[in-house]
Structure 1
Amino acid sequence: MENILTIAGNVKFTITLDPGVWIFDDRRVDLTTYFSQVKETNDSDEAYTKAVSKHWDREIMEGAIYPPTLKTEKKFEKEKVLTGTFGIPFKPFLLNSEPAPDAKRLVVQTATEEIEFPLETAYDFILGYSNNGKPLTSDGPVHIYFGDGSNQNNPIKRITGFTIK
C-alpha cells in the first residue's frame, strides 16, 4: 500500500493513484527525451486525421494484410516499455479530482516535508514512475519533475500524497 498515492483536500473527488499500472497508459512520456523535445500544442482532430492517414497509406503501400514490419514494431515497443524511463503528466489526475473554484495551492507530502506549489504550476508536473524499466522502489513511488525540466537532475522524491488547498 505504500505505493498508492491520493489527491485529497479541497476537491470534489478524492483520487487514488497507483503508479504500478501506468506502464500500460498511453499518456506515458519517455523522460530521457521529453524535456529536450520541442513542445507543440496538439489538436485532437488533427492527430486523429494524421493517424488514420498513416494507416491508410500503409494499407495502400503494403496491402491490407498483417505485414511482418508490424510484428517487429510491436516487439520494439515491448522492449522499450521493459527498459525505458517513463513519467506521466499530472494534469489529467488533477482535472479528474475537480478542485474547488477557490482552490489555489497543491501541497506535496514527502517522507520528510511538505512542499507547497501554486495549483497552476502543478498542472505542468510530470510524475516519473520508472527508471530503466524498474519501478522507483527506493525513493519513489514517484518523482515530480517540473514541466519546464528545470529540476530534471534533482526531482522531488519520496512522495507520499497530494493535498489541494
Structure 2
Amino acid sequence: METILPIKGKVNYAITLDASVWIFDDRKIELDEFLKFDDSNKKNENDYIRTQAERWERERTGIKPPVNKSIKRFEKERVLTGSFVIPLQPFLSNAEPASDRVQLESSDGQQQVISLEEAMNGFLRFSKDGKPLREDGPTHFYFGDGSNASEPVKNVSAITVI
C-alpha cells in the first residue's frame, strides 16, 4: 500500500506528504492521549510550543543535555508499539488553501466534504501498533473535537481543497 497523501485543488502550493516518515516527526501524538478530548487540541498545541521553545533555547545557548540511554530505549519501544496521529493544520497551512471547503478522498472511491476549519482542527492517524495502516489506510481522519472518535474517516488517500 502506498503511503503518499497529496494536498491538491485550490491551493497555492500542491503538497505531497509521505505518511511513512511521520513516525519521526515531533508533532505526532499518541492516539490514546489524543482520544482523551479534554481540550486536547489546545493542550497539544501548547505542549508543541513548549517543546519547540525548549529546543530553541538549547540550540541558542549551546547546552547539550545528557542523554539517558533508558529514555532513548523507552522512546524506541514507544515508537515501535504505539498508535499515533498528527495534526493536519501545519501541512494544510503550508499549501495555502484558497477556498473554505475540503474534500477527503478515500482509496475506495468515497468522498467527504468538510469545512476548512474542521480540516485545520483535524488529525490524521497514520500508525497502529507501530506499523503503517495497511488494511484501511494510508490515513484515518479524526475531527479535532473527537466527534468521530469511534468512526473516523478511513482510507484517506488525498485531500482536495474545493
Q: Which has the higher strand share?
A: 2
Distance 1:33 1:46, change over 3 A: closer
Aligned residues: 153
Distance 1:162 1:50, change over 3 A: closer
DSSP 3-state at the match of 1:79: helix
The structure having more radius of gyration, on CA atoms, is: 1
What is the aligned counterpart of 2:129 among 117, 127, 132?
Answer: 132
Distance 1:148 1:65, change over 3 A: closer
Counterpart of 2:80 in structure 1 is 82
Counterpart CA distance in 2 for 1:112 and 1:65 is: 49
What is the aligned counterpart of 2:53 among 27, 48, 56?
Answer: 48
Matched, 1:91 2:95: no
DSSP 3-state at the match of 1:157: strand
Unaligned runs of 5+ in 1: 54-58
How far has the Cα of 1:42 moved from its partner?
2.1
The CA RMSD measured in Å over matched residues stands at: 2.7
Counterpart CA distance in 2 for 1:65 and 1:112 is: 49
Counterpart of 1:56 in structure 2 is none
Counterpart of 2:104 in structure 1 is 108
Contact 1:5–1:17, Cα closer than 8 Å, also in 2: yes
Counterpart of 2:20 in structure 1 is 20
Distance 1:76 1:45, change over 3 A: closer
2:103 partner amino acid: V
Distance 1:158 1:65, change over 3 A: closer
Contact 1:35–1:148, Cα closer than 8 Å, also in 2: no
What is the aligned counterpart of 2:115 among 118, 143, 149?
Answer: 118
Counterpart CA distance in 2 for 1:46 and 1:136 is: 28
Matched, 1:142 2:146: no
Cα distance per residue 1:12-62 (max 9 Å; x no partner): 000101100000000000001212164335284796259969xxxxx9xxx
